[in-house]
Amino acid sequence: MGTIRFSGVSKIYGGPTGVRALENVDLNVAEGEFVALLGPSGCGKSTLLNLLAGFETLTDGVLSFDGTSISKPGPDRGVVFQEASLMPWLTVWQNVVFGPQVSRVPRSVYEPRAQELLRLVGLEKFHDALPVQLSGGMRQRVGIARALVMQPKALLMDEPFGALDAQTRLSMQELLLDVWQRLKTTVLFVTHDIDEAILLADRVCIMTARPGRITRDIAIDLPRPRSIEALTSVEFIHYKATIMAEMRGAHAHH
Amino acid sequence: MEAGSLFRRLFRSRGGKWLLAAILPVMAVLLWQAAGTDGALAGGALPTPDRVWSAWITWAFGKAGPMTLSPYIGTWADNLGYSAMRVAKGFALAIVVGVPLGAVLGWSKWVAAMVDPSIQWLRPVPITAWLPISLAIFGIRDFGAVFLITIGAFYPIVINTTQGARDVEKSWIRAALMMGARPIDVLMRVVLPAALPSIFTGLRIGLGIGWTAVIVAEMVAVKSGLGYVLWDAYYVGRMDIVIADMVSIGLMGFLSDWLILRLEYSVLRWRRMQSFNG
Ligand SMILES: Nc1ncnc2c1ncn2[C@@H]1O[C@H](COP(=O)(O)OP(=O)(O)OP(=O)(O)O)[C@@H](O)[C@H]1O
Ligand SMILES: [Mg+2]
């Protein structure tokens, strides 16, 4: 459950003469795997994620989730957006239970689940707050709880911590490691932060722009469960050097 | 005390704001009173404020005896009520049609391409131009007035709702779809609430036009209400009643706008906090 398969996927925006956002992308993600997509701005990371989420349709190739091809968005693929994108007129609680409510999940089922998730992301005290009353990090935690409450088979995260300051970002990364350790859902995580990719992921896929494609797929064999201490380990530095060399090399091709 | 700082202090206090707002009308009334001779000006055509006031008092509180024929004794509240009721009905109808239609227009490009041109093409036709049709279909009856108010209030409501629905952030809709929302959920739970600030703008403009429309309609299409009294009083040379009537219309429009603002204030708490937080 939660297996992802891109094979020969291309995406051209705006008709045949448009922008070639992705070209011939192959990517397999196994159940429970945490994969980071790393690459410079404009290389098609969001496009790849949006195809999987069902927000965009592909131009060519095959894209399947659990063996079925994707036609539209659905609660089996939870999405965490860069700016959280909470509904500003709903409270924290209403945002989190929005999904279960529109999906007709019985109240007795979703209430305890939503409460537990709010506790997990440390926001039980902000039950009735509006998104404007929260900090960026808190909003993003609501965004994570909102995606998880639907018990998705995969979590798709598009630079979820990109807008946060360094310290908040570290605590969010720890939170995510903790949540993933418990739930073991498949995660596809988009970032342009090398440290973040290594710290979180089992595999780091490096992408290049124009045309957007995956050039390297590097397994990260750091022990689990991980914490932010891993950031200063020798192995970590080693991975970082490899990835930086790879990205510089990819850049030099242009 | 220096005049500038006095004004600043007035402006900051609540009572002071009322005082500031009252300066212009009070001055206008005083000038108008002073300009008159023998209770009238402009060669006797315009009565002075004191005469308007006493006519108004009679119109509002006077007790008509069995022999009185004047329609301007104690009938103010009734006529005000007729007009307000018509505005309320017409406005409600305009909301019921305009808001859902606007939401769908803003949300679906297909529906917009089909319906929007017709709306834009009918919109320049003024309410007054609809009068003959309204009379022909509904006759001298209440619904004729309601119909005109609905038409007048409909355009700003539908246009503002459409605009609001069109500007809904894509990521809110995507988030809703990702959580399993069906199209109807997206419309009711995302597009409509997101468009509410624009909808309120449309409601305010629409209600203002509603009061214009009711006066026009009552002058022609019915035999009661502030608009009817206005025209009738003019015909019998009661300019004092005409002016009292005009002030009443202004007050009602002002009051109903204030009610919408109150409603907006309580409904759009999230929006207010957003703009205060910058
Ligand atoms: N809706 C769209 N219409 C047309 N072109 C688009 C659209 N979305 C993305 N593109 C183009 O496709 C390419 C890839 O965009 P994408 O957003 O996937 O990049 P990204 O890797 O997510 O970048 P960033 O790190 O800045 O978010 C870019 O050249 C972009 O201009
Ligand atoms: Mg992106």
Instruction: Please determine, for the modelled complex, whether the ipTM score is greater than 0.90.
Output: yes
Q: What is the mean pLDDT of chain B?
A: 90
pLDDT for B278: 38
Which candidate in B178, B269, B275 is best for mutational testing of the A interface (most A CBs within 10 A)?
B178
Does residue A43 have its Cβ closer than 6 Å to ligand 1?
yes
* Fold topology of A1-69+153-158+176-254: Rossmann fold (3.40.50)
Task: Write b or e for each residue in B103-126: b if 16 or more Cβ atoms lie within 10 A of its Cβ, otherwise e.
Answer: bbbbbeeeebeebbeebeeeeeee
pLDDT for B67: 73
Give pLDDT tens digits for A204-236: 999 988 788 999 999 999 998 998 888 999 999
The answer on pLDDT for A15 being more than 50 is yes
User: Alpha-carbon distance A81 to A101, whole Å?
Assistant: 20
Model pTM? 0.85
Pick among 1.10.10.10, 3.40.640.10, 3.30.300.30, 1.10.3720.10: CATH of B76-277:
1.10.3720.10
Give pLDDT tens digits for B72-122: 888 999 999 999 999 999 999 999 999 999 999 998 889 999 999 999 999
pLDDT for B21: 87
The answer on pLDDT for B1 being more than 70 is no
Percent of chain A that is helix, strand, coil (3-state, to 5): 40, 25, 35
Give pLDDT tens digits for B40-82: 887 778 899 999 999 999 999 988 777 777 888 889 999 999 9
What count of CB pairs under 8 Å joins A to B?
73
Nearest to A133 among B176, B271, B273 (CB): B273
Rg (CA), chain A: 18
pLDDT for A19: 86
- B 72-101 residues with CB below 8 A of A? none
User: Alpha-carbon distance B127 to A240, whole Å?
Assistant: 71
CB–CB of A49/A9 below 8 Å?
A: no
The answer on pLDDT for A181 being more than 80 is yes
Name the pLDDT band for A247 (thresholds 50, 70, 90). confident
Domain boundaries, chain B: 76-277
Name the pLDDT band for B277 (thresholds 50, 70, 90). very low
Give pLDDT tens digits for B177-231: 999 999 999 999 999 999 999 999 999 999 999 999 999 999 988 889 999 999 9
Q: What is the DSSP letter of A90?
A: S
CB–CB of A187/A4 below 8 Å?
A: no
Q: What is the mean pLDDT of chain A?
A: 92
The answer on pLDDT for B246 being more than 70 is yes
Does residue A163 have its Cβ closer than 6 Å to ligand 1?
no
Give span(s): CATH 3.40.50.300, chain A: 1-69+153-158+176-254
Vertex B180, ends B178 and B183: CA angle to 5°?
100
pLDDT for B17: 82
Q: What is the DSSP letter of B73?
A: S
The answer on pLDDT for B276 being more than 70 is no
